Amino acid sequence: MLERIEALIRRRTETDRRMSYIWMIIPILPLAAGIAIVSGFVGILVSTIPRISNITQGNAQSILTPIFGGLLALYGLAVIVFFGVLFLGAVSFYYMIDRRNRHFSRQQLLFSTLHQYLASKVPQSESVTQLGFLAEDSSHQESPRPAGLWALLFMFVNLIIGLILSYCLTQDLHKHDELQSKFQAALPPALAEAGYGQPNLPAYKPRGGDPVLFLILSAITGGLFWVYWYYTLLRDYNAHFADQARFEDQLLGILAPPHVTKPCGTCGGAVPNGAKFCPNCGKAYTA
């Protein structure tokens, strides 16, 4: 069972995907394009006013052609930006939901396996029973969201779906953090009863903010606040994965006997015996 715990922890390189901040282009691009398009439109109108009064039958074509050409170019730019943002937004939300699903599902398995492992050592322990309840709660409360469906909905409904999704993802992380902190609080006594050392876990910081507050602020600032909200979605999940990785490495260090893993010379993470590369940092193993 210890190997299973280790395998689940090692699987985090596939499930806990850190998203780059380059995705901030999703909320920033429409703003920049909106300013450019409005400025261009006003510019065309402004340049049209003095020329309109000089229109005659003879010069109408030469005056109106560049005006309509400019308007058509702006319309083309607006369409390209609109569909580009829809497509990129759908992809980014797909990644966001997918990494949430994969992380939650891996963690549920980890919680449940940890509980089973500790229960096999100390079946009558109250703290271990508590871990079991928390593992069950996690399985019931954190069901996967259909990433593909949400991405498709974003493509067709855009603004409202973007807000609803941001709300759901913020709330999910908030609840997940609460469960995680309860699990981390119940774990040390359970480990002690099973005869293991105490992990030195840092105080768990709840993340995610208040989704209702963020929703109202996005509405009241005409969508400008969504730029920051989107940033927090990228930042908070990335930070949560980093915290989780530190917690898991400590856990593995406590649970795994020396013959199962050895510490990586570069990052200090757990490297399985016989492995040539560290599964945490990807560098070649050095003692």
List of residues contacting another protein (CB under 8 A): 35, 38-39, 42-43, 46-47, 49-50, 210, 212-213, 215-217, 219-225, 228
Q: Which residue has the tokens 């910081």?
A: 205
Beta carbon nearer to another protein, 6 or 142? 142
Beta carbon nearer to another protein, 50 or 123? 50
Instruction: Give min distance, CB of 167 to another protein, in A.
Output: 11
User: What is d(CA 60, CA 63) in angstroms, rounded to the nearest whole number?
Assistant: 5
Beta carbon nearer to another protein, 2 or 33? 33
Closest CA relative to residue 105, chosen from 80, 81, 139, 149: 139
User: What is d(CA 253, CA 197) in angstroms, rounded to the nearest whole number?
Assistant: 10
Coil, strand, or helix at residue 199?
A: coil
CA distances to 4, 7, 10, 117 from 262, in Å: 17, 15, 14, 21
Instruction: Give min distance, CB of 42 to another protein, in A.
Output: 6
Instruction: Give min distance, CB of 146 to another protein, in A.
Output: 21
Instruction: Give min distance, CB of 32 to another protein, in A.
Output: 10
Beta carbon nearer to another protein, 44 or 152? 44
User: What is d(CA 44, CA 37) in angstroms, rounded to the nearest whole number?
Assistant: 10
